[in-house]
Structure 1
Amino acid sequence: MNRKRLIAALVASLWGSPTPAQSVWNDFQIHGFGAQAVLKTSDNRWFGDSDQTSFDFTELGVNASLRVLPELLVAGQVLARRAGGMSEGTPAIDYALADISLLDSPQHGVHVRLGRIKNPLGLYNETRDVPFTHPGIFLPQVVYFDRVRNLVLSSDGAALFGETTTDFGTFSGTLVYGQSLVDENVEWSYLNGNFPGDIAPDGNSWIGSAWFTSSSQRLKLGLSGAALALRFRPDRDVAWTLDSGTTDILYWIASAQYRAEDWSLTAEYAREPLQWRSYGPAFPDRKAVGEGYYVQATYRVRPPLQLMLTYQEGFADRQDREGNALSAATGGLAPAFSGFSKIWSLGLRWDIDEHWMVRAEYQHNEGTFILSPRENPDPDALAKYWNLFGLQVVFRF
């Protein structure tokens, strides 16, 4: 499958169909959003020069959908995202898909989706780029890694989605088969550097999810995961680089959320078995099991004001929770605290009206596991304890 041709064809289909023009355009919708944040950290870099105050976290998105036929919906979104040294803000296709309804009734639904598809990972991955859909400025980083965001965000391929509604609740599931999106941040995160050569998907990936939502819509439980592999292709024209190696990734998330009228409680647990093979003597074969979890509570003080409290922990290897083995394996180059993160977050959200929102967030961090080595290439400059303050303004139409 040539994914560029497929995506171009799907986007082009937004502007033409055999259906009469009047009925088509009655079902056309377009929306958008913009978000700008200012960030300040006591130490370390988070989305730009945050230790000096950073304005380098900006998101601009436009999405559209069109029901071409009763059984066919096409939709897409273009996103420009600037995120410090991890993203320069170049507009890109966030998703572009055709949704074909095979069965659609009040109790049952079966759909096939083709194109660039948002991966159904966890509670927030499919909507992570729409700021109004999550409580804080940042999603919990020990589960939703912004440093490898594109790798888990979308896949180019096909998905099968089904759901059934009973008196007890709604059961749904999705299975996606396609190719992951890989950028330079993935190499920095999984190989801890930028080596001469390219990293790319090694074959296609599988992503799946299963969800239960109670009939009251208050309780939601889910299990989701992805299996994929990466291959490094070395540049043969340089004196030295890594060998042609592979990284195998199995990433899964268990999710639970309870929502009452004025408060909600959310918890997710993620585990990521990893295996590095055949990179050569400079990068020995090894295995690790990454782990992360968080608990988040929100409370609506008044209709427009919401408080958020989050605690999260993440580990590069669950068998090395203090990072000592990691530090020893690098000859002390990597500090032990780079193997874990423990974070308290307090946030305030103010929904001014249906179009405008302002958020403030404070974090106290122990450890630097969540940080991008691309933005923080010097391990000696890292601080174990650091604070983050962020303020974000969001608009949507």
Structure 2
Amino acid sequence: MDRSRALLALLSLLLLSRGAAAELALPSGLQLHGFASQGAVHTSSNRFHGDSPETSLDFTEIGLNASWRLSPRLLLAGQVLSRRAGDMSDGWPKVDFALADINLFMQDSHRAGMRLGRLKNRLGLYNETRDVPFTHPGIFLPQVVYFDKVRNLVLATDGIQLHGELYQPFGTLSATLATGRPVVDENVEAALLRGQIPGAIEPRENSWLASLWFHSPAERIKVGLSGAAIALRQDWNLTRAHPRIDLTYWIASAQYNAERWSLSTEYMGLPFRGRDFQPVRPDLNQTSEGYYAQLTYRLRQPLELMLRYEEGFANRDDRDGRTLERQTQGLIPEHAGSSRILSLGLRWDVSRHWMLRTEYQRHIGSFILSEIENPNLLEHDKHWDLFAVQAAFRF
């Protein structure tokens, strides 16, 4: 079965599942949900989710998920996702998550549990639900924090997670601690190595992830700190030692929700350590960072306006990228080390099941671009514009 037929099969299954959920009495505790979206992306230059300078339609997401509460102590849940995103993802259906959630103990004031399987990582405000278009603040998440170009590395983990909640009159405190194998693909390899060194990247050991959150009553205020420590190695035989990469990806998050508007801001730090790449590349010891401020305003039912400004840097000690350009003898231009993005978007909830979106972005720099889609860094344009529209359906 080729990829087009697989995509069609998943879409057909989504529609059939919607009909089954509407017409048949499902077993007690079983829920079925699904979504599908199609986007069109046009850029003034540079490729983003396909051949966007010529207007790309290669931005499609189809998901089918189920959850089954077998008992008060055990929940099974999973999702199959087909995601086409230009050259970064070909749309082949994959298991997005599949887990067993076990309640270890539960009281009125607190609860603790354990999850096993392929787990969505609780990182920042949006990572757990980043596959569902209806949960996004815009068509695209803030790219300087939620990089699409290395999406799979931080999206999910195959392992185990402990989670707990403490319920108090002033709000809810929740925490998670997880460990497991990260998911590494060619997008991660291209982003971390920039095509300079041959060979594949693989996990060196289990990743460790943790989060701590506070939610006020009715979730008017959300504050959180979350992070992941990821250890990788490269299969490269020019030296006796395998090159090593150590990443610490962490996000500080804050959100305020009023009746008609929400204000969100996040800061991401990404210390990067590269060892034993000699003689091709010197050891690296630098920290990437990204941050944004975002306002969503509900004009009137069913319209919502989004305004966001974000900045991201490959090396916070080299924000203008001049050192990077000098060290690479001009092979990596200075503007490839940073991105400054101003976004304006409009959401229209046509009905309970349908949503339409449009978004405009003004970019300065090309840090957020995928190296898979834009392999020649010297051809990146520093100043570029993006315009996108999206239609989404759910049941």
Asked if Structure 1 and Structure 2 have the same fold, meaning a TM-score greater than 0.5 normalized by the shorter chain, the answer is yes
2:248 aligned with 1:250: yes
Q: State the one-letter code of the partner of 1:75.
A: A
Displacement after TM superposition at 1:25 (Å): 1.5
Q: In the TM superposition, what are the counterparts of 1:172-211 in structure 2 within 5 Å?
A: 172-193=174-195, 195-211=197-213
Q: State the one-letter code of the partner of 1:232.
A: Q
1:123 to 119, 122, 125: 125
Contact in 1 for aligned 2:120/2:156 (Cα 8 Å): yes
Aligned counterparts of 1:109 and 1:247: Cα–Cα separation in 2 = 37
2:321 aligned with 1:319: no
Deviations 1:219-275, CA, capped at 9 Å, x for gaps: 0000000001111112x5xxx799730110011100000000110000000000001
2:232 aligned with 1:230: yes
Deviations 1:94-117, CA, capped at 9 Å, x for gaps: 000000001223321101000000
1:377 corresponds to: 375
Kindly tell me: are residues 394 and 295 of structure 1, through their superposed partners in 2, closer, same or farther at Cα, counting changes over 3 Å? same
Q: State the one-letter code of the partner of 2:126.
A: Y
Displacement after TM superposition at 1:380 (Å): 2.2
Q: List alignment gaps of at least 5 residues for structure 1.
A: 1-22
Contact in 2 for aligned 1:242/1:280 (Cα 8 Å): no
1:106 corresponds to: 108
Farther-moved stretch of structure 1 (280-289 vs 339-348): 280-289
Q: In the TM superposition, what are the counterparts of 1:1-397 in structure 2 within 5 Å?
A: 25-193=27-195, 195-234=197-236, 244-397=242-395
Deviations 1:272-307, CA, capped at 9 Å, x for gaps: 000110112112111110000000001001111000
Aligned counterparts of 1:290 and 1:101: Cα–Cα separation in 2 = 38
Matched length: 372
Aligned counterparts of 1:79 and 1:243: Cα–Cα separation in 2 = 37
Contact in 2 for aligned 1:321/1:340 (Cα 8 Å): yes
SS at match of 1:25: coil
Deviations 1:58-114, CA, capped at 9 Å, x for gaps: 000000011112200000000000010101011111000000001223321101000
Q: RMSD of the alignment, in Å?
A: 1.6
Farther-moved stretch of structure 1 (270-279 vs 186-195): 186-195
SS at match of 2:188: helix
SS at match of 2:200: strand
Contact in 2 for aligned 1:195/1:241 (Cα 8 Å): no
Contact in 2 for aligned 1:242/1:283 (Cα 8 Å): no
Kindly tell me: are residues 343 and 131 of structure 1, through their superposed partners in 2, closer, same or farther at Cα, counting changes over 3 Å? same
Contact in 1 for aligned 2:200/2:234 (Cα 8 Å): yes
Kindly tell me: are residues 336 and 283 of structure 1, through their superposed partners in 2, closer, same or farther at Cα, counting changes over 3 Å? same
Farther-moved stretch of structure 1 (241-250 vs 165-174): 241-250
Deviations 1:182-231, CA, capped at 9 Å, x for gaps: 00000100011175422111100000000001124200000000001111
Contact in 1 for aligned 2:101/2:115 (Cα 8 Å): yes
Aligned counterparts of 2:240 and 2:190: Cα–Cα separation in 1 = 13
Aligned counterparts of 2:26 and 2:92: Cα–Cα separation in 1 = 31
Q: List alignment gaps of at least 5 residues for structure 2.
A: 1-24
Farther-moved stretch of structure 1 (384-393 vs 211-220): 211-220
Contact in 2 for aligned 1:193/1:374 (Cα 8 Å): no
Farther-moved stretch of structure 1 (251-260 vs 375-384): 375-384
Aligned counterparts of 1:384 and 1:161: Cα–Cα separation in 2 = 43
Contact in 2 for aligned 1:169/1:212 (Cα 8 Å): yes
Aligned counterparts of 1:291 and 1:54: Cα–Cα separation in 2 = 29
TM normalised by structure 1 equals 0.91
TM normalised by structure 2 equals 0.92
Kindly tell me: are residues 129 and 256 of structure 1, through their superposed partners in 2, closer, same or farther at Cα, counting changes over 3 Å? same
Q: State the one-letter code of the partner of 2:86.
A: G
Kindly tell me: are residues 146 and 312 of structure 1, through their superposed partners in 2, closer, same or farther at Cα, counting changes over 3 Å? same
